[in-house]
Chains A and B, each alone.
Chain A
Amino acid sequence: MELTTFGAVVKSALDLEAEVSGFYESVIDVTTDPNLSKLFEALLLRGQKRIKTLLRIRRENVTEMILEPIAGLDSDAYKPVTAIPKGADVGVVREIAIALETRVDEFYMHAAAKIDFLSEAAYALELLADANSEAAQSLRAAI
């Protein structure tokens, strides 16, 4: 779906975070690796905070006089893959998580570039992207 307004971008981000949180909730108890399990739990908590952050960004950074239309950002390009193949081992689950974090990172970076007319909101999305990038690195190092 083409994201054409600031509000649409934030809605897409909220939907993405909800899906990511849902994924981590489903895998916390599946993995036997204690490091990974702790990391999944932290990422689930991160999701809850992020939803609050995004809602706050939407409330506080929508500066009416400089709202501009957005073009060239399609939420379908960032659809997260959260399905876990039956019988998948912890390594596969971890790879899915890394891919998820990378995809969300890309979304936030591209979205930030598109809403550069709202510089504070754009910066906030860049910070979220940084955290996704760090999470991917932590997941790689976890096992």
Chain B
Amino acid sequence: MNILGVEVVKNYINGRWVESKAKETQDVINPATGELLAKTPMSTREETLQAIEAGMAAFARWRATPALTRVRHLNRIRDAFEENFEELSKILTMEQGKALDESRGEYRRTIENLECATSVPSLQMGYNTEDIASGIDEMVIKQPLGVFFCVAPFNFPGMVPTWFWPFAIGCGNTYIVKPSPQVPMSQVKQFEIIHELGLPKGVMNMIHGGPEAVNALLESPDTVGMSFVGSTRVGKLLYKKAGEQGKRAQVQGGAKNFLTVMPDANLERTVPALLTSFFGCAGQRCLSGAVLLAVGEIYEPLKKAVVEGAKNIIVGYGLEEGVQMGPMASKQGMDNVLGFIDKGIEEGADLLLDGRGIQIPGYEEGFFIGPNIFADVKPTMTIAREEIFGPVMSIIPVKGLDEAIDIIHANRYGNASSVFTTSGKTARDYQYRVKAGNIGINIGVAAPIATFPFSGMKDSFLGDLHGQGQDAVSFFTENKVVITRWF
């Protein structure tokens, strides 16, 4: 369907592209150019139920498909994503804004999830013991459960769904992806590729939309579990509802990540890692650095070095090679960040580097903010406590490691934290003590690869099992215990 020459993206249900009957749509905007790219339909409850029905109908046959056959489909999808790598990366940059290398990096991790999920035939193996009593054997079988779904975020539109669905369908479940309405085109392209590869109908489905679709997915007795990535506020609402509906849930929420730099850190190698962490993807990562804890005498030289480095970051349209930082993904996101910067100034922090008002010639309609650095930040300030989700570094001077860890623990979030040091003892202390799910030692973005769980603690994660790796296999299967005796 076209509205004023702009396509309304379609749903993908039971192996077919289906125009939504929704009356309401949301605009998909290129955040660098302001261009209207497409429209996302706010699918209805009825349409969502059709997708669930398709998943249910496909489940019995799919779960009976041998595991190696199931993962051969994943291999084909993986190969097809490799062949279409550049096009997928460019679409992602156009709708989300991140620099092209960042989109490529996202797709590398996307493909890695597919590769890891091809291990499902081994990962899904159960275990057994003979003669638990004389002549009686006992075993555990890891069984798939039915229709799962994910509610995906706007910041990694290509990758995040693959934290979940390759493992889910590899294990024999069927799946529904609900992309962010802000950035649906990456998933549309992925499903176009998948559509050509012969995956049985109903195994993979996609529904676009907002609260109505999500509520339908949660309330249906025919869905088994939900994976959500987004804000903690929404995540908590959905987690509660999932619990009330008796569904499994994994909720990856917000973050406020503290990066600690010790006096013995290798400054020359640390500063580039910090710049990538704080300003990569324009700070719109749940693993982005948010607060820099500068310990002792490192404060002054570190402050100087990060400001010098950040001044040189090239901001622009992500499709242009050489651009290191793209725009904010939306006007709302941009206004939100600008509000926090105003707050930081109001509360008395020292704005050493002001990225507001940056003009990118030729892209005057874009949602650009350059890198921002605050110094002399106090832990009680708003910019030190609340998630900004933008290119803002807040530097807090601290006396020692203990003070740093106290500040980290006072925050409600626990997604990631890193320490930069040359001391093994300090590193060990940090990883042992800090309550954050993803710890980096001399790593600015502690992103787990596909074979590991994407961890998170406190208000950054709700649930027991994370996306990716063995956790994903456990989330998408149930341990069925079988005790046998033969007469």
Contacts and interface: CB of A to CB of B under 8 A. Distances in A.
A65 B444 contact: yes
Contacts of A7: 99-101, 104, 321-322
A3 interface: yes
Contact of A5 (B107, B309, B312, B324): B324
Interface in B274-300: 275-276, 280, 287
A1 B320 CA distance: 13
A135 B324 CA distance: 35
B445 interface: yes
Given A59-B85, A65-B447, A8 B321 contact: yes
Contacts of A64: 101-102, 104-106, 108-109, 280, 445, 447
A68 B273 contact: yes
Contacts of B104: 7, 58-59, 62, 64
A60 B321 contact: no
Nearest to B448: A65
Contacts of B444: 65-66
Contacts of A11: 321
Given A64-B105, A66-B273, A5 B323 contact: yes
Contacts of A108: none
Given A68-B272, A69-B272, A62 B105 contact: yes
A115 to B, nearest CB: 11
Contacts of B272: 68-69, 117
B335 interface: no
B313 interface: yes
Nearest to A71: B312
Contacts of B108: 59-60, 62-64
Nearest to B275: A69
B312 A69 contact: yes
Contacts of B275: 68-69
Contact-residue size bin, chain B (C-beta under 8 Å from the other chain): 20 to 34
Interface in A37-90: 58-60, 62-69, 71
A105 to B, nearest CB: 23
A2 B101 CA distance: 16
B297 to A, nearest CB: 25
B197 interface: no
A4 interface: yes
A24 interface: no
A23 interface: no
Given A68-B273, A68-B275, A68-B276, A62 B322 contact: no
A5 B104 CA distance: 12
A6 interface: yes
A44 to B, nearest CB: 24
A71 B311 CA distance: 13
A119 to B, nearest CB: 13
Contacts of A69: 272, 275-276, 309, 312-314, 324
A16 B314 CA distance: 24
Contact of B276 (A8, A58, A66): A66
Interface string A112-142: 0000010000000000000000000000000
B353 interface: no
12 contacts: A7-B322, A59-B107, A63-B108, A64-B104, A64-B106, A64-B445, A65-B276, A65-B287, A68-B273, A68-B275, A69-B324, A117-B272
Given A58-B104, A64-B104, A66-B444, 4 more contacts: A1-B322, A63-B105, A65-B446, A69-B272
